Amino acid sequence: MNLIFFGPPGAGKGTQAQKLVETQAIPQISTGDILRANRRDGTGLGLEAQTYMDRGLLVPDQLVIDMVGARLQDSDCEGGYILDGFPRTVAQAVALDEFLEKRDSSIDKVVVLTVPDGLIVERIVGRRSCGNCGAGFHVEFKPPAKQGVCDVCGSELAQRSDDTEEKVRVRLNEYAQNTAPVAAYYKQRGIVREINGVGGMDEVFGRLTEALEN
């Protein structure tokens, strides 16, 4: 199944995608994660993306389109994939369609996670992750046993540099301006499934699996 997980930053796309990866043998392709890995490795792409990411702005379309095009050609995507954080503009959605059409492929479903803005800010600002194993925590909703330390591997937890309240507001604005119209682009095809992203991880996952069956 070729899936797109769609929704504002902090809606739980990454968390829910990770849960689905555990039950389906398909990879999660997070453009944010790939860009952050490029930044860490100091690649040309990472350096170019950095200035935008640091300000909470979207990275230029062509950079992300080329990056996803390359990733989708990896053999682990043959049985399907979950796109998490892509497409984020209508131009990206059009480019994805063109790429897939050439390969006689298409997107099966677009899952839209909805969460009110107030809760998004609370979720994102409290978010922490392990710099070593990538495990995710939240200072209030999912605190580690020992403050600032990963429960899984004992390494130090860190906050993403764009997870401050000020940058979340910029990212929410980017979402409203550029990304929200992408849902309308897919809606005409009848493949959009909107689910309420408020609630516990398992509760939301229950809604997600139900939505994917219909």
Residues at the site binding ligand AMP, with contacts judged by CB under 6 A:
9, 31-32, 35, 52-53, 56-59, 64, 85-86, 88, 92, 162, 171
- Residue number, 3 or 58, with CB nearest to ligand AMP: 58
127 is annotated as an active-site residue: yes
- Residue number, 32 or 197, with CB nearest to ligand AMP: 32
CB 13 within 8 A of CB 21: no
CB 156 within 8 A of CB 137: no
Q: Which of 19, 36, 123, 127 is the catalytic position? A: 127
**Buried (b) or exposed (e) across 7-46, using 16+ Cβ within 10 A?**
bbbbbbbbbbbbbbeeebebbbbbbbebbbebbeeeeebb
- Residue number, 24 or 178, with CB nearest to ligand AMP: 178
Minimum CB distance to ligand AMP, residue 214 (Å): 26
Task: Give the angle 146-147-150 at the CA atoms, nearest 5°.
Answer: 65
88 is annotated as an active-site residue: yes
Minimum CB distance to ligand AMP, residue 93 (Å): 10
- Residue number, 37 or 146, with CB nearest to ligand AMP: 37
Region for residue 160 given its phi and psi (left: phi exceeds 0; alpha: psi -120 to 50; beta: otherwise): beta
Minimum CB distance to ligand AMP, residue 188 (Å): 21
Q: Which of 99, 89, 117 is nearest to 2 (CA)?
A: 99
Q: Which of 39, 88, 128, 207 is the catalytic position? A: 88
In whole angstroms, give the CA distance from residue 30 to residue 98.
20
167 is annotated as an active-site residue: no
Which residue has the closest beta carbon to ligand AMP?
A: 32
169 is annotated as an active-site residue: no
Q: Which residues participate in catalysis according to the annotation?
A: 13, 88, 127, 160, 171
